[in-house]
Amino acid sequence: MQQRGVTVWFTGLSGAGKTTITRAVEEKLRSQGCKIEILDGDIIRENLTKGLGFSKEDRDENIRRIGFVSQLLTRNGVIVLVSAISPYRAIREEVRQKIGNFVEVFVNAPLNVCEERDVKGLYKKARTGEIKNFTGVSDPYEPPTNPEVECRTDLETRDESVDKVFRTLQELGYLPTNSLAEIA
């Protein structure tokens, strides 16, 4: 079976576990010989969208640019794993419509759990006003209303979350039927 391109969009608050799950999914897909590309929000901001700030308009533009690159890769048969907070529902939906082959993964953990996991100290800086427009504190996060996958990282293990993503990719025809048996 030839690999079908798809964008798997991991969205959630800072500290919810997007990067952790994305890296684990990448590892399993690579072990099967899949063509993978990761677009991590932090890395994209350092390179592709460096001049953008954190206003709603700049955040939307950031997501559009990530979506554009995702669309190019997806249409060329690559599985694209996007790990980006992407706080606004409307822009995620806009990107979904443009890409077509799109799986939204809501990496969900309560704000207090994300704050406890905050190794960079970003929430603390946001709470003291040092960081403005911080998602979940002084700027809204609009959770997906109907994601293909929801990973509750406060209630399930990393492997359980990864298995949910894999099962969904298999059910939607992006991975061969025997994929889960081979990786188990």
Catalytic residue list: 86
Q: Cα separation of 168 and 166, whole Å?
A: 5
Residue 40 tokens read as 């991590």
Structure tokens at 89: 């529902």
Q: Are 8 and 103 in contact (CB under 8 A)?
A: yes
Q: Which two tokens stand for residue 171?
A: 């059910």
Beta bridge partners of 164: none
Q: How far is CA 160 from CA 57, 106, 127, 152, in A?
A: 35, 14, 32, 9
Q: How far apart are CA 63 and CA 71, in angstroms?
A: 12
Are residues 67 and 41 in contact, defined by beta-carbon separation less than 8 angstroms? no
Could you tell me how many helices (H) and strands (E) the chain has, helices first?
8, 5
